[in-house]
Chains A and B, each alone.
Chain A
Amino acid sequence: KAGVTQTPRYLIKTRGQQVTLSCSPISGHRSVSWYQQTPGQGLQFLFEYFSETQRNKGNFPGRFSGRQFSNSRSEMNVSTLELGDSALYLCASRPTETNTGELFFGEGSRLTVL
């Protein structure tokens, strides 16, 4: 079974631009979560989607948004990029939102903002 796939793996943007990151969960998984990882702040929860609905949201500004499609694939968007948005963005999936199991992570999308 294929794992969680994130694209692109690496990207460079400049301040003020916007970026869209994509995540394809493990087949059959309906819950997708997004995390931001930086050396200073560690792993911070962005949001979780289940059945195309946002279930949880972390403490990030409105420039960070996401969505989930009917096939469970998810995208997150960051508008008006700032230098501090440079980070590794991780997507994780699990079968359902109430599942007691672990999160399965993708390899991440490393965003550099210049």
Chain B
Amino acid sequence: AQSVAQPEDQVNVAEGNPLTVKCTYSVSGNPYLFWYVQYPNRGLQFLLKYITGDNLVKGSYGFEAEFNKSQTSFHLKKPSALVSDSALYFCAVRDINNYGQNFVFGPGTRLSVLP
């Protein structure tokens, strides 16, 4: 079975500092990995994905994520945080080899960027 863990419920960072939101996953095969962001009372917005290829993936709004197969991790990063990045972030995984599988989402990490 697939699963996703986001070990931190809350991450606080000062504006201008680098940020990291952690994600680890478990799938039986090879993973498709995704990051989404959710602002209050809104749906989820896609940030970036890893399907194959380069382990460093660049996405929207200056975010990037690094796929680490040995550590089964897919941490979200940004070199310089903005107050407007404050939101709820979700990591999701899907098994490449099982098209019938739905996406599994982590519990979410609330990011607060302090001015």
Secondary structure dominating the interface of B: loop
- Which among A33, A98, A102, A106 is the interface contact of B43 at CB below 8 angstroms? A106
For the complex, what is the distance from the CA of A4 to the CA of B103, rounded to whole Å? 18
- Which among B42, B43, B99, B105 is the interface contact of A42 at CB below 8 angstroms? B105
Q: Are B46 and A42 in contact (CB under 8 A)?
A: no
For the complex, what is the distance from the CA of A52 to the CA of B44, rounded to whole Å? 24
How far, in Å, is A3 (CB) from chain B's closest CB? 9
Tell me if B22 counts as interface (CB < 8 A to partner A).
no
- Which among B43, B49, B101 is the interface contact of A4 at CB below 8 angstroms? B43
Q: Are A102 and B46 in contact (CB under 8 A)?
A: yes
Q: Which residue of B lies closest to A57 (CB)?
A: B102
* Best-buried of B34, B43, B44, B46 by chain A (most CB within 10 Å): B43
Q: Which residue of A lies closest to B34 (CB)?
A: A102
Q: Which residue of A lies closest to B35 (CB)?
A: A102
- Which among A48, A100, A105, A110 is the interface contact of B32 at CB below 8 angstroms? A100
Q: Residues of B contacting A58 with CB < 8 Å?
A: 102
Q: Are B42 and A107 in contact (CB under 8 A)?
A: yes
The tally of CB-CB contacts under 8 A between chains A and B is: 51
Q: Residues of B contacting A97 with CB < 8 Å?
A: 99-100
Q: Are A48 and B102 in contact (CB under 8 A)?
A: yes
How many residues of chain B get a CB closer than 8 Å to chain A's CBs? 23
* Best-buried of B49, B96, B102, B106 by chain A (most CB within 10 Å): B102
Scan B104-115; emit 1 where CB is below 8 A from any A CB, else 0: 111110000000
Cβ contacts A to B, 28 pairs, < 8 Å: A33-B103, A42-B105, A42-B108, A43-B105, A43-B108, A45-B103, A45-B104, A55-B100, A56-B100, A58-B102, A90-B43, A90-B44, A97-B100, A98-B99, A100-B32, A100-B51, A100-B96, A101-B49, A102-B34, A102-B46, A102-B49, A103-B46, A103-B103, A105-B36, A105-B43, A105-B45, A108-B42, A110-B41
Which chain B residues have a beta carbon within 8 Å of chain A's beta carbons?
32, 34, 36, 41-46, 49, 51, 90, 96, 99-108
